[in-house]
Amino acid sequence: MADQPLEGRTALVTGASKNIGRAIALELALAGADVVITGRDPMRLDAAAAEMRSLAPGRRILPVAGDAANPDVLDHLAAEALRELGGIDVLVANAVFAEDQVAPIVDSPPELWDRGMRGFVLGPLRLIRALHPRMAQRGHGSIITILSTAGFTPIPGRGAYGVMKSAMWTMTRYLAMELAPEVRVNALCPGTTSEDGQLREDNGWLIPAVPLGRMGRAAELAQTALFLSSDASSYTTGQVVFCDGGRVSLAGYKAHS
161 is catalytic: yes
Core vs surface per residue 154-171: b (16+ CB within 10 A) or e: ebebbbbbbbbbbbbbeb
**Contact at 8 Å (CB) between 172 and 166?**
no
For residue 103, give Cα distances in angstroms to 94, 112, 162, 201.
Answer: 23, 11, 12, 19
User: How far, in Å, are 9, 119, 173 from residue 138 at the CA level?
Assistant: 11, 28, 22
Give the CA count within 13 Å in the CB-facing half-sphere of 128.
24
**Residue 108 vs residues 88, 95, 104, 138: alpha-carbon distances, Å:** 36, 20, 6, 43
Residues present in the chain in total: 257
Give the active site residue among 161, 174, 235, 253: 161
Q: Where does residue 95 rank: exposed (0-12), middle (13-18), buried (19+ CB within 10 A)?
A: buried
Other CB atoms within a 10 A radius of the CB of residue 69 amount to: 20
CB 105 within 8 A of CB 158: no
Q: How far apart (Å, rounded) are the C-alpha atoms in residues 35 and 168?
A: 23
Residues with a known catalytic role: 161
